[in-house]
Amino acid sequence: MSLKRDTLFILRAPFEDPELEGTWFCTSCATMEGMLLANPQWARAIDVVRSPYPRPRREVIAAIGEENQSLPALVIADVADAPPEAQMFGATAFLTDPKGIARYLAAQYGGAGPHP
């Protein structure tokens, strides 16, 4: 699957986990929502896909493979822009670390990055 723009996959909140009682959110995905609020230009520059909690996550699988369904994940549209720490699925580069995602987006699109 080839994407035209960088694409951030995060879990839609809140969600229910059938194995646990209660309603939940993913803390790393909530961090991604916060960085989008702090840098609204990022949400205009990239695609943001809020996926449901249950697996299989078909859109994620199509982009970076079944073994990479854990979120958040930023799929980088142009592999030439990928930082050295990017993971690869075939010819597709992606990031999963929230700070790494934020650093990449700040470098590519401007705005506030994560404090070291």
Q: How far apart are CA 75 and CA 73, in angstroms?
A: 6
Residue 45, amino acid: A
Rg (CA), the chain: 14
Question: CA–CA separation, 68 vs 89, rounded Å?
Answer: 9
Residue 116, in any domain of the structure: no
Q: Which residues constitute the domain of residue 82?
A: 7-109
Bridge partners, 9 (sequence order): 49, 73
Examine residue 34 and state whether it is found in any structural domain, yes or no: yes
Tell me which H or E stretch contains 64.
helix 58-64
* Inside any domain, residue 1: no
In a domain, 51, yes or no: yes
Q: Give me the pLDDT at residue 40, please.
A: 97
> Is 2 part of a structural domain of the chain?
no
In a domain, 37, yes or no: yes
Q: Is a pLDDT exceeding 90 seen at residue 1? A: no
Distance, in Å, from the CA atom of 103 to the CA atom of 14, rounded to the nearest integer, reads 26
Compute the average pLDDT of residues 27-40.
Answer: 98
Q: How many separate domains does the chain show? A: 1
Instruction: Give 57-72 pLDDT, tens digit per residue.
Output: 999 999 999 999 999 9
pLDDT-based confidence at residue 107 (cuts at 50, 70, 90): very high
For residues 53 and 74, give the distance between their C-alpha atoms in angstroms, rounded to a whole number. 17
* 68 domain residue, yes or no: yes
Burial tier of 91 (Cβ tally within 10 Å: 0-12, 13-18, 19+)? exposed
In this prediction the pTM is 0.96
pLDDT confidence of residue 116? 87
Establish if 114 belongs to a structural domain.
Answer: no
